């Protein structure tokens, strides 16, 4: 009898849990959590983004990320943290990043950076070839000598004033190629004081926030004080946008960890998949005191920002002078065709964020605010070198650089519009590293929004 009663109680408990989880996601994905309708600070609704991403963007961006040009990313994971003493690297095996052997990297990609300052520096003819390949790994081999010289001049142009990120020096002996498909972003077990310190530093020191205002859920917050959201709504548009971008990036990363979680490991064979309980812990309106839905709205806002950047940068890639060069002519042509197809889709979206509403005040004040905006974001990119888990650092650096590249694009509209068709421009350029980061970062956001829909289905199935 007691066993039967225990079974009944167990079934009832499971039913209650399933009901609560379904209610949670209903809260997250319906009007109760305000994750529907028009987003703040723009004129786009969430439902339109869901449909656009599911049916147009997601399938194509997934294919593009599998192309050789976009799967190999050169990164330095050994740069020391510039802000505090290194508190040790994560020793969990899933934190490890397996670098790609040079022999596996397509020759056209390697030609873009390896030995750039040694062999090339001593041989002017090799310098032309090396610099030519280095500009995106993307130069048409039929260029005239005049165009080649222009590329070399372009390489010497210091565009650091345009960068929103601290870029890795690809010539460093510590920089290595990583195959992103073989090192996917997923839950590694990295958590605790080290991980909290990184995000706390990002929010507390780089989001224009005074110390008297505490973020929601901050364990150090006093019982009384100025409301965080009262403070946030009192900021100018640019500073509100900055906070939403960082919050959206944080939410997206958390979603990836929930969606690709180590569920079990039997005889050394891991099984990865979506973890509904972890999703609930991070986004449940009750457990997060209403923060989960707000964070997910910021994810959608970030998606819009990067989507807008892709639509704006299309003319840069539409030029015949730009290839996605790996050394495989057939694949390079297919990769560019797919990228241009995605650009056409981004330009067809009818509810883009209007970046012209930013930095629209008096010229002097707008310029100063833009520079402050840039430096704050650049500082955040440097904090990524303080992440103790190599895999988390890899994907944190890539997604931060991708967002930084998107911001660089949005604030370079005039330079992009005036690009010459058959030669490079000193006014605006992107390195291959920036291009790979831009596409993969947007691919991660597209995946996050798709995974939200998957969690909704999963929770409905537990009913």
250 marked as part of a ligand binding site: yes
Which residue in 95, 100, 258, 389 is the catalytic one? Answer: 389
**What is the mean predicted confidence (pLDDT) over 299-328?**
94
Top mean pLDDT of 22-36, 113-127, 356-370, 385-399 is at: 385-399
Strand residue runs (E) in 314-436 = none
308 marked as part of a ligand binding site: no
Query: In this predicted model, which residue has the larger pLDDT, 247 or 456?
Result: 247
**What is the mean predicted confidence (pLDDT) over 422-428?**
74
User: What's the mean per-residue pLDDT of the chain?
Assistant: 82
Task: Give the pLDDT confidence of 440-450 residue by residue, as tens digits.
Answer: 999 999 999 99
> Is residue 147 predicted with pLDDT exceeding 90?
no
Range with lowest mean pLDDT among 4-13, 191-200, 277-286, 418-427: 4-13
Could you tell me which residues come within 8 angstroms of residue 207 by beta carbon, excluding any fewer than 6 positions away?
239, 242, 243, 246, 376
Task: Give the pLDDT confidence of 169-206 residue by residue, as tens digits.
Answer: 888 888 999 999 999 999 998 988 889 999 999 998 89
Q: What is the DSSP string of 17-49?
A: HHHHHHHHHHHHHSGGGT-SSBPTTSS-BHHHH
**What is the mean predicted confidence (pLDDT) over 286-308?**
93
Confirm if 157 and 231 have CB atoms less than 8 A apart. Answer: no
Range with lowest mean pLDDT among 41-45, 56-60, 236-240, 412-416: 41-45
247 marked as part of a ligand binding site: yes
Concerning whether 392 is annotated as a catalytic residue, the answer is yes
DSSP 81: P
Q: Tell me the CA distances in angstroms from 387 to 5, 78, 96, 131, one per residue in order.
A: 49, 11, 13, 32
Query: In this predicted model, which residue has the larger pLDDT, 256 or 41?
Result: 256
> Token pair of 94, please?
């899933």
199 marked as part of a ligand binding site: yes
Range with lowest mean pLDDT among 38-47, 63-72, 159-168, 426-435: 159-168
Which residue in 44, 95, 165, 392 is the catalytic one? Answer: 392
Say what the pLDDT of residue 90 is. Answer: 80
Q: What is the DSSP string of 231-270?
A: HHHTS-HHHHHHHHHHHHHHHHHHHHHHHSEEEEEETTEE
Task: Give the pLDDT confidence of 340-377 residue by residue, as tens digits.
Answer: 999 999 999 988 888 888 887 778 888 898 899 999 99
Q: Would you call 430 exposed, middle or buried from its count of C-beta atoms within 10 A (0-12, 13-18, 19+)? A: buried
State the pTM of this model.
Answer: 0.83
Could you tell me which residues come within 8 angstroms of residue 25 by beta carbon, excluding any fewer than 6 positions away?
455, 456, 459, 460
141 marked as part of a ligand binding site: no
Say what the pLDDT of residue 108 is. Answer: 92
> Token pair of 426, please?
């000193």
């Amino acid at each position: 009898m007691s066993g039967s009663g225990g079974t009944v109680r167990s079934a009832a408990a499971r039913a209650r849990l399933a009901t609560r989880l379904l209610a949670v996601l209903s809260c997250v994905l319906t009007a109760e959590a305000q994750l529907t309708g028009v987003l703040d600070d723009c004129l786009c609704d969430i439902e339109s983004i869901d449909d656009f991403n599911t049916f147009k963007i997601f399938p194509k961006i997934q294919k593009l990320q599998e192309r050789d040009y976009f799967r190999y990313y050169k990164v330095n994971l050994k740069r020391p943290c510039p802000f505090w003493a290194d508190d040790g690297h994560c020793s969990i095996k899933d934190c490890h990043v397996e670098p790609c052997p040079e022999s596996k990297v397509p020759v056209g990609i390697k030609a873009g950076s390896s030995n750039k300052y040694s062999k090339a520096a001593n041989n002017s003819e090799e310098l032309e070839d090396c610099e030519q390949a280095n500009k995106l790994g993307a130069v048409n081999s039929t260029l005239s000598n005049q165009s080649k010289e222009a590329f070399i001049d372009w390489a010497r142009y210091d565009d650091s004033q345009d960068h929103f990120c601290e870029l890795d020096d690809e010539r460093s002996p510590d920089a290595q190629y990583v195959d992103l498909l073989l090192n996917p972003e997923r839950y590694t077990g990295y958590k605790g004081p080290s991980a909290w310190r990184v995000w706390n530093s990002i929010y507390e020191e780089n989001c224009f926030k005074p110390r008297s205002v505490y973020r929601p859920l901050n364990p150090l917050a006093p019982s009384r004080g100025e409301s965080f959201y009262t403070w946030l709504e009192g900021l100018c548009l640019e500073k509100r946008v900055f906070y939403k971008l960082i919050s959206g990036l944080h939410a997206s990363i958390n979603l990836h960890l929930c969606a690709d979680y180590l569920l079990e490991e039997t005889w050394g064979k891991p099984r990865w998949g979506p973890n509904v309980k972890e999703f609930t812990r991070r986004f449940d309106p009750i457990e997060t005191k209403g923060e989960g839905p707000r964070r997910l709205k910021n994810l959608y806002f970030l998606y819009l920002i990067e989507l807008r950047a892709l639509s704006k940068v299309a003319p840069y890639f539409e030029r015949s002078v730009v290839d996605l060069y790996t050394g495989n002519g057939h694949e390079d042509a297919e990769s560019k065709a797919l990228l241009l197809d995605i650009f056409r889709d981004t330009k067809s979206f009818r509810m883009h964020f209007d970046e012209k509403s930013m930095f629209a005040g008096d010229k002097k004040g707008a310029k100063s605010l833009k520079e402050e905006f840039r430096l704050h974001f650049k500082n955040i990119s440097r904090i990524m070198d303080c992440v103790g888990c190599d895999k988390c650092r890899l994907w944190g650096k890539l997604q931060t650089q991708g967002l930084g590249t998107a911001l660089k694009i949005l604030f370079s509209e005039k330079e992009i519009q005036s690009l010459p068709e058959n030669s490079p421009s000193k006014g605006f350029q992107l390195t291959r590293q920036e291009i790979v980061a831009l596409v993969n970062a947007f691919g991660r956001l597209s995946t996050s929004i798709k995974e939200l829909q998957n969690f909704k289905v999963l929770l409905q199935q537990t009913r």
